[in-house]
Amino acid sequence: AKLVKTDALPDAAWRSAKERLRRDMDYMATSRVLITGGGGFFAPFMPVLQEKGISLNANVPDQILDGVRNAYPLDSNGHFPCRYDFTDFAAQTMSTNSANLRSAPKHDTMLAKARLAVQDYMVFRGNLGCKERCRKVNFSAPVLGDCNM
Rounded Cα gap, residues 133 and 136, in angstroms:
6
Rounded Cα gap, residues 20 and 27, in angstroms:
11
Rounded Cα gap, residues 49 and 46, in angstroms:
5
Q: Whole-prediction pTM value?
A: 0.63
Sign of the C-alpha dihedral computed for residues 120, 123, 127 and 132 taken in this order? positive
> CB neighbours of 10 closer than 8 A, spacing ≥ 6?
none
The pLDDT of residue 128 is: 65
The pLDDT of residue 8 is: 52
pLDDT per residue of the chain (149 residues) written in tens, 0 to 9: 444 344 455 566 667 888 888 888 888 888 888 888 766 677 777 888 888 889 888 877 777 778 888 888 888 777 888 888 888 888 888 888 888 888 877 777 777 887 888 788 777 766 666 665 565 666 666 677 788 75
Cβ burial of 82 (10 Å; 0-12, 13-18, 19+) is middle
Q: Which helix (H) or strand (E) covers residue 71, if one does?
A: strand 71-73
The pLDDT of residue 127 is: 66
